[in-house]
Amino acid sequence: MRMYSNQNQGHLLDTATEKSKIGDVRLSQNQYRTAYAFYKEAFEIRRIVLGSSHFDTIQAAFNAGKCLHCLGKPDHALRYYKIFTKALFKAILLSTTSPRGRNDSHLLTKETVLMTQSIAWAFHQERSFNHASMFYRLALETARNVLGEKHKVVARILSQFGKLMFESGDMASALKYYLRGLKIEGALQQRQMNHINEDVLDFLTTISNIACTLEQMGQLENSLECYNKILLLRFQHDDDDDDATSASTRILAMKRRSDADTLLNMARVHWKLERPVQALEALNEALLIQKQVYGCDHSIVASTLNEIGIIHGEQEGHTHLALQFFEESLRIRVLIDNPDQRTISSVLYNMARIHERTGDSVEALVHLKKVAEHELLESVEDEINKVSSPEVLLDVLELMSQIYEKLDDPREALACLEKGIRIIMGKGPNVVSLHVHSRYLGMAGNVCLRLGNIKKVMHFFIETMRVNIAGGLAFDANIKVAMGYEDVRRFESEYVLAAAAA
């Protein structure tokens, strides 16, 4: 190792400090590449003079890694993060094995806990689940050593870890972490039960997360019980709304928005339990709150109006009410600056379904054509990728084909299905499922059969078979019935052989 005199070391460390400060300024200005260059130089100096396990060294390593992460280079960032974590692991080991380890270690601080947590969150946001999980575990272990088992930072890391597990589909682990965090948050919020603060809101948010997890696990009644508990606990704070100070206004606004979200979640669970009356009660209550918080012409209000319309549309004799809610939702969405075309398309499709169900095929087609005109530019194959909401458009084209079939216009029905197939082919299997692709091909084949176009019949049915083989889907018995050819047995045997080979 290169040796430096104390005077030279002091000079080098002063230089590293200055470079680190410049890096801080550049980072605050989002000049990540420049900031990284200064942090890297500071890290190299400190590593040589102070060693890899010194707090100043690992702080520079963390900052360099953060800049690389912001530059979209997480793999390169990991090289610096590993230097940071190696020192941290060593400090944790010392704190648990040496009687004086906790006092001797200068790395186990609240700052290093928050640094580790931020690394985990960065990987979490980009859905790098394995790396995020590794850093959450380290943040959790460090937080317990530094802050104790019952600190709110520990609870927040547990909550974030639970969210990661939820997003990765591991509901059992998500529930485990949420419940552990809830135990800590419950003790914290008990001290503040008569006042709204962030500890109370964290506690209620975790209960909401648990409710969502239980819903995903199919435990719908338990999920509803959690949501009801949230509303009951919030009711205890309603008196605060009347004498709110300016300091608590932000938290009160968060509370009202959260109340509406809870009611929306409850409505969804009631709907899954086939309780439309309770679902509508929750939605209407949420709508009232949203109008008070956001105003009557807000996109969030429009979304809830659409949800209410959907449930009314499924009830016998409620079609008129459903259309009223859809029309109001559409009015708001059109008024909004730079409206989201996907949401407009969704409402128009919902309105078309109501008209089609009530036998008004002409009016249904009017709404469906509006969606198609917005979403699809006719006869320009290159523009398939510009379709903003392929799922909605595919539903629209399928419904249009069904209406044209009812109107005894198979040519228009086939035209709609062929557009849908072009969209599916353009978007690919990552966007559109093989089941949808297979269904579209089968429907197109059946329409061609009505038109007597045998060449196209064979084309679409053979393509259906190929898609089914690729996706491991079952052979569609309707294809055999529709074909009616003498060689259907040979066709099926070829399919079976091909499927076995696949």
Q: Does the pLDDT of residue 106 top 80, yes or no?
A: no
Distance CA 494, CA 497 (A): 5
Place of tokens 């520079």: 60
- Find, among 92, 79, 89, 7, the residue nearest to 47 by Cα: 79
- Cα 215 from Cα 23, distance rounded (Å): 46
Task: Quote the mean pLDDT of the chain.
Answer: 84
Read off the pLDDT band of 499 (50, 70, 90): very low
In the 8-state DSSP scheme, what is residue 282?
H
401: helix, strand or coil: helix
What is the three-state SS of 158-176?
Answer: HHHHHHHHHHCCCHHHHHH
- Quick: pLDDT tens for 318-335: 999 999 999 999 999 988
Report helix angle 341-357 to 361-375, nearest 10.
Answer: 160
What is the distance between the alpha carbons of residues 241 and 248, in angstroms, rounded to a whole number? 9
In this structure, the dihedral spanned by the alpha carbons of residues 65, 67, 71 and 76, taken in order and rounded to 10 degrees, is -20
Please give the single-letter amino acid code of residue 270: H
Answer yes or no: is pLDDT of 173 > 60.
yes
CB atoms within 10 A of CB 313: 19
Q: Which residue has tokens 């099926």?
A: 492
Q: For the chain, what is the total number of helices (H) and then of strands (E)?
A: 23, 0
**pLDDT value at 252 more than 80:** no
pLDDT of residue 312: 96
The structure's pTM equals 0.76
Residues with Cβ within 8 Å of 297's Cβ and at least 6 positions away in sequence, in order, are: 332, 335, 336
- What pLDDT score was predicted for residue 478? 52
Give the pLDDT band of residue 283 (cuts 50, 70, 90): very high
Reduced 3-state DSSP string for 443-462:
HHHHHHHHHCCHHHHHHHHH
Q: What is the pLDDT of residues 80-89, one digit of tens each?
A: 999 988 888 8
In angstroms, rounded to a whole number, what is the distance separating the alpha carbons of residues 45 and 206?
Answer: 44
Question: Which tens digits make up the pLDDT trace of 333-349?
Answer: 988 867 777 888 899 99
Q: Which amino acid is at 353?
A: R
Contact yes or no for 148/110 (Cβ under 8 A): no
DSSP per residue over 1-33, as a string? -----HHHHHHHHHHHHHHHHHHHHHHHTT-HH
CB-based contact 208:224 (threshold 8 Å): no
pLDDT, tens digit (0-9, with 9 covering 90-100), for 44-93: 999 999 888 888 999 999 999 999 999 999 999 999 999 988 888 888 87
